[in-house]
């Protein structure tokens, strides 16, 4: 049997010497002979067919460990496995194609779909509140317990106007796998802050400096119509901050503004970002 050197076999198979050494180590393409003294590899011409098969399987994205398993099968079974692999690959490509199409369409439409961002002045104020780690489903019950049952139910006064609207600060993402933390804040008159602190020792009282905040009004009273609508508002807010060259002074907020519907619909939720 005539043997050729690894260099010559590399040329014939169009596989690099590095790849041939790796395939040898993994048992995919073992040389016909290895020199005991030098460790030099020699291949037979009959191994070119197997080399081409390994190369083809790698070109279609089959992992090396899976290549070894396929080479151990009879041709019919291997063909069926390759057919199944490629069907899965095409389905994945189709899914990615749809994602790319959606991204391109969204980016083209994003400018026209931007929600209107406004800016308002917020005076210095005292704020009573608490910080908790919560999941998405715990947000509303936790806020209701603090804002409605404890503070409003306990007769705690609020600052007049928009500066007195309760708000939540998202110090971290809240979702199925993330739990914030979130800070619930209730603005109170300066002269009553210490009294509130004494009545509710588990809450904190802090002073918030005067600042501006960029915000987006809610389209309909009560709540955002969908998660997609809320996400669009957040994108618009972030894009505005970058476009206007403003620097955020803190994390994202949800300001709970009383509306004409009162308790029947709940407050309007305005996304806001404090600005420097």
Q: Based on the domain organization, do 126 and 66 belong to the same domain?
A: no
Q: Based on the domain organization, do 55 and 156 belong to the same domain?
A: no
The parent domain of residue 180 ranges over: 118-275
* pLDDT of the residue at 176: 63
* pLDDT of the residue at 222: 46
* pLDDT of the residue at 109: 59
| Per-residue DSSP letter, 114 | P
Q: Based on the domain organization, do 66 and 125 belong to the same domain?
A: no
Within-domain flag for 110: no
* pLDDT of the residue at 232: 79
Last residue of a domain, one of 41, 57, 72: 72
Q: Based on the domain organization, do 211 and 149 belong to the same domain?
A: yes
Q: Based on the domain organization, do 232 and 170 belong to the same domain?
A: yes
Task: Give dist(CA 268, CA 106) in Å, integer.
Answer: 27
Q: Based on the domain organization, do 144 and 207 belong to the same domain?
A: yes
Top-ranked range on mean pLDDT: pick from 96-100, 132-136, 208-212: 208-212
Encode pLDDT of 65-106 as tens digits.
999 999 999 999 999 999 999 998 888 888 888 877 777 666
- Residue with the bigger pLDDT between 64 and 261: it is 64
Within-domain flag for 77: no
Within-domain flag for 199: yes
Q: Based on the domain organization, do 172 and 269 belong to the same domain?
A: yes
Q: Based on the domain organization, do 42 and 172 belong to the same domain?
A: no
* pLDDT of the residue at 49: 92
Instruction: Output the six-digit token pair for 97.
Output: 């194609």
CATH number of the domain encompassing residue 137: 3.20.80.10
The band of 32, judged by pLDDT with boundaries at 50, 70 and 90, is very high
Q: Based on the domain organization, do 138 and 25 belong to the same domain?
A: no
Task: Give dist(CA 72, CA 244) in Å, integer.
Answer: 62
The band of 26, judged by pLDDT with boundaries at 50, 70 and 90, is very high
Length reported for the chain: 276
Within-domain flag for 189: yes
Within-domain flag for 217: yes
* pLDDT of the residue at 34: 94
Within-domain flag for 65: yes
* pLDDT of the residue at 226: 63
Are the C-beta atoms of residues 117 and 214 closer than 8 Å to each other?
Answer: yes
Q: Based on the domain organization, do 34 and 128 belong to the same domain?
A: no
Encode pLDDT of 228-271 as tens digits.
777 778 888 888 888 888 889 999 999 998 776 555 556 788 99
CATH number of the domain encompassing residue 55: 1.10.1660.10
pLDDT for residue 3 is more than 90 = yes
Last residue of a domain, one of 72, 105, 126: 72
Encode pLDDT of 135-189 as tens digits.
888 888 998 898 888 998 989 988 888 999 999 999 888 876 778 899 999 999 9
Task: Give dist(CA 144, CA 179) in Å, integer.
Answer: 18
Task: Give dist(CA 119, CA 272) in Å, integer.
Answer: 9
Q: Based on the domain organization, do 165 and 245 belong to the same domain?
A: yes
Within-domain flag for 212: yes
Q: Based on the domain organization, do 141 and 264 belong to the same domain?
A: yes
Within-domain flag for 92: no
pLDDT for residue 214 is more than 70 = yes
Last residue of a domain, one of 16, 46, 72: 72
Angle made by CA atoms 231, 235, 237, in degrees to the nearest 5: 115
Q: What is the CA radius of gyration of the chain?
A: 32
Give the count of domains, the chain. Answer: 2
């Amino acid at each position: 049997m005539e043997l050729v050197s690894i260099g010559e076999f590399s040329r014939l198979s169009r596989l690099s010497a590095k790849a041939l050494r790796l395939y040898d180590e993994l048992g995919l393409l073992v040389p016909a002979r290895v020199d005991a003294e030098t460790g030099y590899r020699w291949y037979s011409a009959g191994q070119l067919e197997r080399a081409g098969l390994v190369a083809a399987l790698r070109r279609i994205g089959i992992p090396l460990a899976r290549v070894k398993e396929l080479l151990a099968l009879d041709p019919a079974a291997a063909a069926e496995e390759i057919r199944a692999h490629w069907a899965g690959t095409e389905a994945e490509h189709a899914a990615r194609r749809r994602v790319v199409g959606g991204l391109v369409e969204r980016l083209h439409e994003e400018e026209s779909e931007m929600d209107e961002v406004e800016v308002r002045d917020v005076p210095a104020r005292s704020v009573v509140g608490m910080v908790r780690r919560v999941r998405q489903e715990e947000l509303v019950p936790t806020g209701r317990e603090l804002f409605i049952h404890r503070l409003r139910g306990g007769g705690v006064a609020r600052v007049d106007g928009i500066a007195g609207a309760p708000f939540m600060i998202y110090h971290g993402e809240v979702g199925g796998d993330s739990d914030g933390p979130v800070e619930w804040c209730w603005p109170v008159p300066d002269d009553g802050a210490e009294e509130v602190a004494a009545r509710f020792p588990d809450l904190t009282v802090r002073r918030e400096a005067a600042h501006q905040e960029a915000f987006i009004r809610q389209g309909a009273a009560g709540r955002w119509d969908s998660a997609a609508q809320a996400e669009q508002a957040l994108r618009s807010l972030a894009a505005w901050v970058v476009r206007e060259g403003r620097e955020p002074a803190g994390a994202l907020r949800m300001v709970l503004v009383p509306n004409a519907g009162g308790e029947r619909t709940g407050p309007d939720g305005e996304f806001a970002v404090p600005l420097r």
